[in-house]
């Protein structure tokens, strides 16, 4: 394990150093994080980064592979466009956590702000505390789990994917074009596995799912012309 | 981008310092200028005016002499070319509007604040520059709002910096993060009502609009803000203060951020970002204001 002190470093220098270290080290400890912005952005690798403190905006954006454990808070757009790996935040995140996320897992042990999981396309987002308004707006895939209270307009204009919530008052706060359905057994098993993996002490039986409404034609037939070009006489 | 901050703290003897410290944390949201409006517990009427050159000092004093007598004064150089005149005045409160109107009529003078409680400091540069150059007292004030500016809509000139005040309601100050897209229509409407604009900045329109609603239409701050929500178009997060209230207004899409944290009955903090609350409360969960929301707090 190596230790990296961020005092006086610019975000570009931090990321260059992390990139260099992740190639050889299994675990990197970051101290004096001073709410640094863009920490571990576009980092590719397999190691584990432990941040003893809080980080700023765009923490772990485009992350591909590493595990990022932040022992404090993070700013907005945590895990922006994340591809794979893990981000675990022990305290709160700012708004717009996991926007356009494609894969991997983000766990927020505290609360998050509004627009959590905006336009998410894949992966898992677990918020153990409360979330603000417009959670999971326009999501295209993936799974969001919220164990605390949710804000207004949850699941607004969802296309695909699922949001599991514990908040019993969710029906009154539902966004347009989405509905609340009971959680099915396959989902229960998957969520249980996630909870066990991240040490979240919570049963899955009270969870309910928010899924998009389905309208119109959902099966398409490709147009295959059968006529043959004839010779003109 | 711009950033806003505000504080209500009835017991703080260092409110001026606290607000400056909050604005220092917002430096990354704008470095063009920094400003703050403080509401002090004082007995006299005080004035702050920006002069583009010290040669206009005699013009300013001639205008003031028509309405008031000066009990104490100072004049000093700001960060840039502008000089600042600050004085305690002995005058009838009902003449404040006329004095404000007369000074703003001079092209080289601009009233930054004139009233019984309000005091506006604004200058180019960072919060640290403002604090050093203007010798802002630690100030036993009850509340205040502040702003860091990244100029998008009009020129970099300290008279175009926030907070904006209106001669119609001298104790009102506003700070704005965003852009008004119906500025020219609104300005034309307000000018037709006889309101005179001092700058070309879109945020000045909001100050005059709210002051007009409160002074001429007799509305309270909350009603005026609701009227603003219906009327303003564009992107806006506003913090508005009067001698006994702070109000907040956010547009319906919630484009620009606004957080608040109510510590107890005596302390409320406002800011664009969580980090600007940290000089006062180190680790709290601040609430994000609702889009399309109007909120007011009494001091």
- List CB contacts (< 8 A) between A56 and chain B: 275
pLDDT at B256: 92
Domain count, chain A: 1
CB A227 within 8 A of CB A211: no
- List CB contacts (< 8 A) between B252 and chain A: none
Q: What is the mean pLDDT of chain B?
A: 92
In a domain, A227, yes or no: no
Question: What are the tens digits of pLDDT across the range A149-187?
Answer: 999 999 999 999 999 999 999 999 999 889 999 999 999
In a domain, A228, yes or no: no
Question: What are the tens digits of pLDDT across the range A88-122?
Answer: 999 999 999 999 999 999 999 999 999 999 999 99
When computed from its CA atoms, the radius of gyration of chain A, rounded to whole angstroms, is: 21
Interface predicted TM-score (ipTM): 0.75
Chain A closest CA to B273's CA: distance in Å?
9
CB A116 within 8 A of CB A89: no
Chain B closest CA to A227's CA: distance in Å?
52
The fraction of chain A above a pLDDT of 70, given in percent, is 96
In a domain, A95, yes or no: yes
Q: Does B281 touch chain A (CB under 8 A)?
A: no
CB contact under 8 A, A73 and B290: no
pLDDT at A231: 67
C-alpha to C-alpha distance for B160 and B201, rounded to whole angstroms? 6
In a domain, A221, yes or no: no
In a domain, A10, yes or no: yes
pLDDT at B11: 73
Tell me the mean pLDDT in the region A22-35: 94
pLDDT over threshold 80, residue B139: no
Angle at B10 between CA B8 and CA B14, to 5 degrees: 85
Question: What are the tens digits of pLDDT across the range B92-127?
Answer: 999 999 999 999 999 999 999 999 999 999 999 999
CB A22 within 8 A of CB A4: no
C-alpha to C-alpha distance for B275 and B159, rounded to whole angstroms? 28
pLDDT over threshold 70, residue A138: yes
CB B178 within 8 A of CB B252: no
CB A95 within 8 A of CB A75: no
H helix intervals, chain B? 15-24, 57-67, 96-104, 127-134, 183-192, 202-215, 221-231
Chain B closest CA to A5's CA: distance in Å?
21
Domains of chain B: 3-39+141-298 (3.60.20.10), 43-116 (3.30.70.260)
Q: Does B191 touch chain A (CB under 8 A)?
A: no
Which CATH number covers residue A126?
Answer: 2.160.20.60
pLDDT at A229: 72
Chain A closest CA to B178's CA: distance in Å?
19
Question: What are the tens digits of pLDDT across the range B174-221?
Answer: 999 999 999 999 999 999 999 999 999 999 999 999 999 999 999 999
Tell me the mean pLDDT in the region B268-297: 91
pLDDT over threshold 70, residue B263: yes
- List CB contacts (< 8 A) between B290 and chain A: 133, 152
**A85's torsion region: left (phi>0), alpha (psi -120 to 50) or beta?**
left
What residue numbers bound the domain in which A102 lies?
Answer: 2-212
pLDDT at B254: 87
Tell me the mean pLDDT in the region B138-144: 82
Residue among B258, B281, B262, B284 at smallest CA distance from B271: B258
pLDDT at A220: 67
- List CB contacts (< 8 A) between B254 and chain A: 114
- List CB contacts (< 8 A) between A11 and chain B: none
- List CB contacts (< 8 A) between B291 and chain A: 133
- Burial zone of A53 (CB within 10 Å; 0-12 exposed, 13-18 middle, 19+ buried): middle
CB contact under 8 A, B285 and A92: yes
Mention every residue, 6+ apart, whose C-beta is less than 8 A from residue B188: none
Q: How many helices (H) and strands (E) does chain A have?
A: 2, 11
Q: Which of A98-102, B81-85, B284-288 has the lowest mean pLDDT?
A: B284-288
In a domain, A105, yes or no: yes
Question: What are the tens digits of pLDDT across the range B8-31?
Answer: 998 778 888 999 999 999 999 999
CB contact under 8 A, B283 and A114: no
Chain A closest CA to B43's CA: distance in Å?
43
HEC letters along A162-210? EEEECCCCHHHHECCCEEEEECCHHHHHHHHHHHHHCCCCCCCCCCEEE
pLDDT over threshold 80, residue A128: yes
Q: Does B293 touch chain A (CB under 8 A)?
A: no
pLDDT over threshold 60, residue B281: yes
Q: Which band of pLDDT confidence, cut at 50, 70 and 90, is reported for residue A13?
A: very high
Nearest CA in chain B to A73: B283
In a domain, A52, yes or no: yes
What 3-state DSSP class applies to B203?
helix
Tell me the mean pLDDT in the region A12-26: 95
Q: Does B283 touch chain A (CB under 8 A)?
A: yes
In a domain, A113, yes or no: yes
CB contact under 8 A, A133 and B290: yes
pLDDT over threshold 60, residue A233: no
HEC letters along B210-255? HHHHHHCCCCCHHHHHHHHHHHCCEEEEEEEECCCEEEEEECCCCC
Q: Which band of pLDDT confidence, cut at 50, 70 and 90, is reported for residue B7?
A: very high
Q: Which of B254, B274, B290 sits opposite A94 (nearest CB)?
A: B274
Q: Hey, CA dihedral for A102, A107, A108, A112, is it positive or negative?
A: positive
Chain A closest CA to B50's CA: distance in Å?
37
When computed from its CA atoms, the radius of gyration of chain B, rounded to whole angstroms, is: 18
């Amino acid at each position: 394990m190596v230790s990296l002190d961020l005092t006086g470093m610019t975000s570009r220098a931090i990321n260059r150093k992390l990139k260099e270290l992740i190639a050889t080290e299994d675990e990197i400890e970051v101290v004096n994080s001073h709410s640094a912005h863009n920490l571990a952005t576009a980092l590719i690798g397999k190691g584990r980064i432990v941040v003893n403190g809080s980080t700023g905006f765009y923490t772990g954006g485009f992350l591909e592979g590493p595990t990022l454990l932040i022992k404090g808070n993070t700013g907005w757009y945590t895990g922006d466009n994340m591809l794979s790996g893990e981000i675990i935040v022990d305290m709160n995140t700012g708004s717009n956590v996991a926007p356009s996320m494609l894969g991997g897992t983000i766990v927020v042990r505290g609360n998050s702000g509004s627009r959590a999981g905006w336009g998410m396309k894949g992966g898992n987002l677990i918020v153990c505390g409360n979330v603000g308004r417009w959670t999971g707006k326009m999501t295209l895939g993936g799974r969001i789990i919220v164990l605390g209270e949710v804000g207004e307009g949850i699941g607004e204009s969802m296309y695909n994917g699922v949001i599991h919530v514990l908040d019993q008052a969710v029906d009154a706060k539902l966004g347009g074009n989405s509905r609340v359905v009971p959680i099915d057994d396959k989902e229960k098993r998957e969520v249980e596995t996630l909870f066990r993996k991240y040490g979240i002490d919570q049963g899955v039986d009270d969870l309910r799912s928010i899924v998009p409404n389905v309208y119109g034609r959902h099966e398409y037939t490709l147009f295959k012309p059968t006529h043959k070009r004839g010779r003109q006489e | 981008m711009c950033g806003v901050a505000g504080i209500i703290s009835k017991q703080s003897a260092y409110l001026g310092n606290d607000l400056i410290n909050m604005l220092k944390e917002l430096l990354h949201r704008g470095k063009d200028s920094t400003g703050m409006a403080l509401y002090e517990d004082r007995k006299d009427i005080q004035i702050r005016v920006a002069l583009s050159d010290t040669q206009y000092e005699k013009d300013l004093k001639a205008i003031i002499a028509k309405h008031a007598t000066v009990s104490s004064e100072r004049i000093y150089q700001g960060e840039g070319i502008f000089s600042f005149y600050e004085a305690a005045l002995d005058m009838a409160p009902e003449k404040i509007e006329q004095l404000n109107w007369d000074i703003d009529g001079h092209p080289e003078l601009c009233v930054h604040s004139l009233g019984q409680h309000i005091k506006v400091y604004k200058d180019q540069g960072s919060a640290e520059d403002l604090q050093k150059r203007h010798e802002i007292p630690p100030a036993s004030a009850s509340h205040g709002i502040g702003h860091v500016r990244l100029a998008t809509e009009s020129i970099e000139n300290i008279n175009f910096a926030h907070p904006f005040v209106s001669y119609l309601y001298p104790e009102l100050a506003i700070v704005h993060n965003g852009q008004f897209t119906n500025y020219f229509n609104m300005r034309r409407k307000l000018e037709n009502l006889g309101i005179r604009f001092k700058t070309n900045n879109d945020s000045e329109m909001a100050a005059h609009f709210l002051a007009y609603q409160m002074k001429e239409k007799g509305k309270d701050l909350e009603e005026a803000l609701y009227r603003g929500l219906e009327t303003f178009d564009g992107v806006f997060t506003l913090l508005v203060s009067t001698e006994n209230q702070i109000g907040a207004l956010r547009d319906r899409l919630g484009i620009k951020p606004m957080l608040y944290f109510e510590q107890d009955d005596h302390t409320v903090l406002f800011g664009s970002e969580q980090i600007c609350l940290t000089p006062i409360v180190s680790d709290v969960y601040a609430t994000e204001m609702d889009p399309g929301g109007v909120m007011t707090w009494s001091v």
